[in-house]
């Protein structure tokens, strides 16, 4: 059989060599930062790390002098939504988008992530099921972007997720596929894998009118059926869990990665340890609401609620970390409070401030641990010989100030797949797209008193 023909010999990966010398090396294995002994990238491979790098480099190698700067692996954003386009409401997301525009816009947003130092990301659920298409387009070199591992859509029961009654009783809306029985849960798991899913996403908890907090909308049998089916077919499972009982139920069912795990209790932590699940708390969205929500007119009066959720959950995340549970960093990018390219490094800062991790420990969470989300453990997220060639050079020392990871002005080199990303030129923003936004009639209710007071 011959290999399929392509129109060009284009490759998304670098084919040459890059030699990075000088500065401080943070290899993200957990070893202390050390003077960079030399890093040689050859194509999409970290070829040599050590004094032999310079010697092994060919005459044609590109050379980067990292003197006075920091060399570290690219960020892995373990929880972001690449197809949502900084959305402001579920109404907008579910009913005001079209597939072709959404795909083109997503392509542009991938560039923002790359320029902010994200060289790999994991996307649970996507508009118009486009996750695998986006991943394949990047892999084929059609559009530039980070490495992608992806789901297709979130599986929700008719209880709904966080979108309440916008979730229909059956069928598809936005990022969600409704499943109404164990059989349907199994059927859609199989279909998503057929469509190209690396991950199956379960929206385990949702909001119900009149109830406080999120409730588990799935039976334990349904959860287990999805996990067993996915695992038999070689896919992994993640779940949105924002209640204590959902953490226990999902970990017991065999979910590989728990998103949020809000209000995890001692029983939940035991279940997570027993199952070997990873945790991706994704505090960034809550922290942005709590700290800056008022700046964009969001969550008025809710700051304390979000701060409370962070504090309660952080305590248990710390306990999980101490018990050896891998913590991953996710930004929840794709919402108006977490726009692409702006917040991918913030989770590490929150792990330092709220969990008391050292900056080095937080950097490992933001890089090496992300390999779990990419299903590339031992292959990505560290600067070790034989790993994939995703590397950043930072102007400054993130061990002294972890906030540097989230300041893209300080990222002077992004190397993705062994190729330097062009960081010059204007930020790739787009203008308004007709029909894309929802307009409210009013922010307030116009009572007689309000009119004539």
| Minimum CB distance to Zn ion smaller for 222 or for 332 | 332
Dihedral (CA of 194, 195, 200, 205) sign: negative
- CB–CB of 75/405 below 8 Å? yes
Total number of residues binding Zn ion (CB under 5 A)? Answer: 1
Distance of alpha carbon 345 from alpha carbon 169, whole angstroms: 37
Least distance to Zn ion, CB of residue 373, Å: 12
| C-alpha dist (Å) from residue 35 to 50, 71, 199 | 10, 10, 38
| Minimum CB distance to Zn ion smaller for 39 or for 372 | 372
Least distance to Zn ion, CB of residue 147, Å: 19
Distance of alpha carbon 314 from alpha carbon 320, whole angstroms: 10
Of 345, 387, 348, the C-alpha closest to 364 is: 348
Least distance to Zn ion, CB of residue 309, Å: 15
- CB–CB of 323/362 below 8 Å? no
Encoded one letter per residue, x for contact with Zn ion by CB under 5 A and - for no contact, window 4-43 reads ----------------------------------------
> Which residue in the shown chain puts its C-beta closest to Zn ion?
332
Least distance to Zn ion, CB of residue 79, Å: 6
- CB–CB of 65/21 below 8 Å? yes
| Minimum CB distance to Zn ion smaller for 33 or for 334 | 334
E strand segments, 333-410:
391-394
Least distance to Zn ion, CB of residue 282, Å: 7
Least distance to Zn ion, CB of residue 140, Å: 26
CA-angle at 272, arms to 271 and 278, nearest 5°:
165
Least distance to Zn ion, CB of residue 260, Å: 8
| Minimum CB distance to Zn ion smaller for 39 or for 106 | 106
| Minimum CB distance to Zn ion smaller for 286 or for 352 | 286
| C-alpha dist (Å) from residue 366 to 177, 245, 307 | 30, 27, 22
| Minimum CB distance to Zn ion smaller for 73 or for 217 | 217
Dihedral (CA of 355, 341, 89, 124) sign: negative
| Minimum CB distance to Zn ion smaller for 81 or for 417 | 81
Encoded one letter per residue, x for contact with Zn ion by CB under 5 A and - for no contact, window 312-341 reads --------------------x---------
* Eight-class DSSP state of 88: S
Tell me which residues touch Zn ion (CB under 5 A).
332
């Amino acid at each position: 059989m011959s290999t399929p023909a392509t129109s060009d010999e284009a490759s998304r990966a670098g084919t040459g060599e890059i030699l990075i010398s000088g500065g401080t090396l943070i290899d993200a294995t957990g070893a202390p930062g050390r003077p960079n002994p030399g890093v040689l990238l050859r194509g999409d491979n970290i070829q040599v790390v050590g004094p032999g790098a310079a010697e092994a480099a060919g005459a044609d190698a590109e050379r980067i002098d990292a003197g006075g700067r920091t060399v570290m692996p690219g960020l892995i954003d373990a929880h972001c939504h690449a197809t949502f386009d900084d959305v402001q409401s579920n109404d907008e997301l579910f009913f005001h988008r079209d597939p072709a525009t959404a795909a083109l816009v997503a392509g542009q947003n991938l560039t923002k992530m790359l320029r902010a130092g994200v060289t790999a990301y994991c996307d649970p659920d996507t508009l118009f099921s486009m996750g695998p298409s986006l991943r394949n387009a990047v892999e084929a070199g059609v559009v530039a972007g980070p490495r992608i591992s992806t789901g297709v859509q979130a599986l929700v029961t008719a209880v709904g997720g966080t979108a309440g009654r916008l979730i229909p009783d059956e069928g598809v809306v936005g990022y969600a596929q409704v499943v109404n029985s164990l059989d349907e849960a199994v059927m859609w798991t199989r279909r998503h894998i057929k469509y190209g899913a690396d991950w199956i996403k379960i929206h385990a908890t949702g909001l119900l009118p009149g109830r406080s907090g999120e409730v588990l909308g799935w039976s334990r049998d349904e959860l287990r059926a999805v996990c067993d089916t996915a695992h038999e077919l070689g896919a992994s499972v993640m779940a949105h869990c924002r209640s204590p009982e959902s953490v226990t139920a999902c970990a017991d069912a065999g979910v590989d990665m728990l998103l949020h795990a809000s209000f995890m209790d001692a029983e939940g932590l035991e279940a997570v340890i027993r199952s070997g699940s990873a945790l991706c708390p994704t505090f960034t969205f809550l922290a942005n609401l709590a700290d800056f929500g008022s700046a964009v007119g969001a969550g008025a009066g809710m700051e304390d609620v979000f701060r409370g959720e962070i504090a309660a959950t952080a305590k248990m995340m710390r306990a999980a970390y101490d018990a050896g549970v891998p913590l991953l960093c996710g930004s929840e990018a794709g919402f108006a409070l977490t726009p692409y390219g702006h917040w991918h490094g913030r989770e590490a800062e929150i792990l330092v401030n709220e969990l008391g991790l050292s900056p080095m420990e937080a950097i490992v969470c933001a890089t090496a641990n992300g390999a779990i989300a990419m299903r590339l453990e031992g292959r990505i997220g560290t600067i070790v010989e034989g790993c994939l060639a995703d590397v950043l050079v930072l102007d400054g020392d993130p061990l002294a100030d972890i906030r540097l990871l989230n300041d893209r002005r300080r990222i002077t080199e992004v190397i993705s797949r062994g190729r330097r990303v062009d960081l010059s030129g204007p930020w790739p923003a787009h203008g308004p797209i007709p029909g894309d936004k929802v307009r409210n009639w009013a922010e307030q209710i116009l009572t007689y008193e309000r009119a004539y007071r």
